[in-house]
Amino acid sequence: MGLKSGIEQLRLTNFRSYSFMNMDLSSSFEPVVLTGHNGAGKTNILEAISFLVPGKGLRSARLGDVAKREAEDFLDRLDVAQLPNRWSISAKISMAGVSAKIGTGTIDGSDRRQVRIDGKNTSKQSDLAKVFKCLWLTPAQDRLFCGDPQARRRFLDRLVQAFDETHAVRLSEYNSVFKQWSCLLREGRFDKGWLSGLEEQLVSYGVAIAASRLDVIDRMSQNLKHPVAEIFPTAEIILTGFVEQLLLEKSAVQAEEIFLDKLQKSRKIYADGGSISGPHTADFKVIHSQKRMDASLCSTGEQKALLLSIILAEMNTQMQEQGICPLLLLDEAIAHLDIKRRHILFDVLTSLPAQVWMTGIDSENFDYLNGRAQFYDVRESNLSLKNVA
Ligand SMILES: Nc1ncnc2c1ncn2[C@@H]1O[C@H](COP(=O)(O)OP(=O)(O)OP(=O)(O)O)[C@@H](O)[C@H]1O
Ligand SMILES: [Mg+2]
């Protein structure tokens, strides 16, 4: 196994329920287990770490909700997001032997988060992805297979971004052009030249987005077929979006032509309040391969195991392609797993070349890791180290 990756020191200032918090961790990067009562402050710590990569963190939070608020703020003000927005997170990290000091946060009144890497400020969050990598699994994702397609799209696009830095930029361009196109039509402004220009941009960004989604799922497919341990299900991810499906059968040029034709022919339908399929409505389904069962019909524990299979396949693919194992943030991940699956998962996690952060209510559920993990008791947003591995 190559050099390990992890966080050596983590500091939060004014972040969620923490005024100030400092953690000095073991640099041998054993798993970190945070246990404590509901509302103790466990997920807040994982969320802080998730802000050390580009994006909105593991809760997809509004930045104004992240700064520490006092109870009276909610009594006095209508919108706490209007209050000064000052919080920061900093960490000493080592990724496969390369150390860096990274930090992020907002300054008063700003709704943009700043980034600092080895003493240099930058407003480009994407720079963080070059020095630090982490993946997460949260209880909110338990509804991934049955719930809203928007959450699935967000999950899929995060996965793609881990391999293709430009994906986020293309998505935001596509969404902005789609908004303009849809405004023109819904306001009844049938300016053909303007609409055609926007449609050409939609087609070019849209096909690139769909191609990137297909490409990443294809690159992960071998690892999805061969899970880290037999007890975890093999999963198949099938992209069901209109443009993604086109690309499976046609060349990119043909897909562009068909998508363009569809956009042009749908102008009237869209103007009358109808909808149109495209990368903005794309979806995917997951098949539990051994059972040949759609994930939405699997049991809660089976769905959790499928999610773990997907995250671990993403981790392995990153490790193979980029040479660095991302950290894993597993919030309440073992809750629905039986004891056999839990223990196998713990064995897998302790053998990874990256630090894994786990949370849970009861520390007894992690006893199997005694001597192999760093245990913290979290109480009223105070951390105490229980034992050292
Ligand atoms: N901006 C904020 N300012 C102050 N406190 C906040 C803020 N956002 C969230 N909190 C509080 O932080 C506390 C800890 O939340 P957290 O989600 O970390 O708990 P937890 O230990 O994961 O609990 P559970 O076991 O229920 O998941 C909660 O009581 C929550 O209300
Ligand atoms: Mg929690």
For residue 215, what is the domain's CATH number? Answer: 1.20.1050.90
**Ligand 1 and 80: CB distance under 6 A:** no
Burial 98-126 (b: 16+ CB within 10 A, else e): eeeebbbbbeeeeeebbbbbeeeeeeebb
Residues 219 and 295 in one domain: yes
CA 136 to ligand 1 centroid distance, Å: 18
- 329 Rama sector, left if φ>0, alpha if ψ -120 to 50, beta otherwise: beta
Residues 175 and 161 in one domain: yes
**Residue-level pLDDT at 231:** 83
Edge-first strand listing for the sheet containing 284-288 = 235-239, 284-288, 293-294
Provide the sign of the torsion angle of the four alpha carbons 186, 192, 194, 196, taken in this order: positive
53 domain-assigned: yes
**Residue-level pLDDT at 76:** 64
Read off the amino acid at residue 372.
R
66 domain-assigned: yes
**Ligand 1 and 317: CB distance under 6 A:** no
Residues 93 and 77 in one domain: yes
**Residue-level pLDDT at 82:** 67
139 domain-assigned: no
Give the rounded distance of the alpha carbon of 307 from its chain centre.
12
CA 37 to ligand 2 centroid distance, Å: 9
**Ligand 1 and 158: CB distance under 6 A:** no
Residues 191 and 203 in one domain: yes
Provide the sign of the torsion angle of the four alpha carbons 243, 245, 246, 247, taken in this order: positive
243 domain-assigned: yes
Give the rounded distance of the alpha carbon of 9 from its chain centre.
22
**Ligand 1 and 16: CB distance under 6 A:** yes
Domain boundary among the residues 265, 295, 322 is at 322
Domain boundary among the residues 265, 289, 322 is at 322
CA 45 to ligand 1 centroid distance, Å: 10
Q: Which atom of ligand 1 is nearest to the CA of 65?
A: 1
**Ligand 1 and 43: CB distance under 6 A:** yes
Residues 21 and 93 in one domain: yes
Contact 353, 325 (CB under 8 A): yes
**Residue-level pLDDT at 92:** 98
Residues 307 and 384 in one domain: no
Residues 218 and 265 in one domain: yes
**Residue-level pLDDT at 110:** 72
Residues 195 and 70 in one domain: no
Domain boundary among the residues 297, 322, 347 is at 322
Residues 178 and 252 in one domain: yes
Ligand nearest the Cα of residue 45 is 1
Polymer length in residues for the chain: 389
Q: How many domains does the chain have?
A: 2
Q: How far apart are CA 11 and CA 91, in angstroms?
A: 6
Ligand 1 pocket, mutate which of 13, 17, 88 (most atoms under 8 A from CB): 17
**DSSP letter (8 states) at residue 29:** -
Residues 173 and 286 in one domain: yes
Ordered per-residue pLDDT tens for the chain, 389 residues = 568 999 999 999 999 999 999 999 988 899 999 999 999 999 999 999 999 999 999 999 988 889 998 877 766 656 666 667 789 999 999 999 999 999 999 976 677 889 999 999 987 888 999 999 999 999 999 999 999 999 999 999 999 999 998 999 999 999 999 999 999 999 999 999 999 999 999 999 999 999 999 999 999 999 999 988 888 999 999 999 999 999 999 999 999 999 999 999 999 999 999 999 999 999 999 999 999 999 999 999 999 999 999 999 999 999 999 999 999 999 999 988 999 999 999 999 999 999 999 999 999 999 999 999 999 999 999 999 997 54
Host domain of residue 22? 1-133+324-389
Q: Which atom of ligand 1 is nearest to the CA of 45?
A: 18
The DSSP bridge pattern shows strands 382-387 and 374-379 to be antiparallel
CA 44 to ligand 2 centroid distance, Å: 7
**Ligand 1 and 104: CB distance under 6 A:** no
Residues 268 and 340 in one domain: no
CB-CB neighbours of 143 under 10 Å: 12
Rounded to the nearest 10 degrees, how much is the dihedral formed by the CA atoms of 182, 184, 189, 192?
-90
Read off the amino acid at residue 54.
P
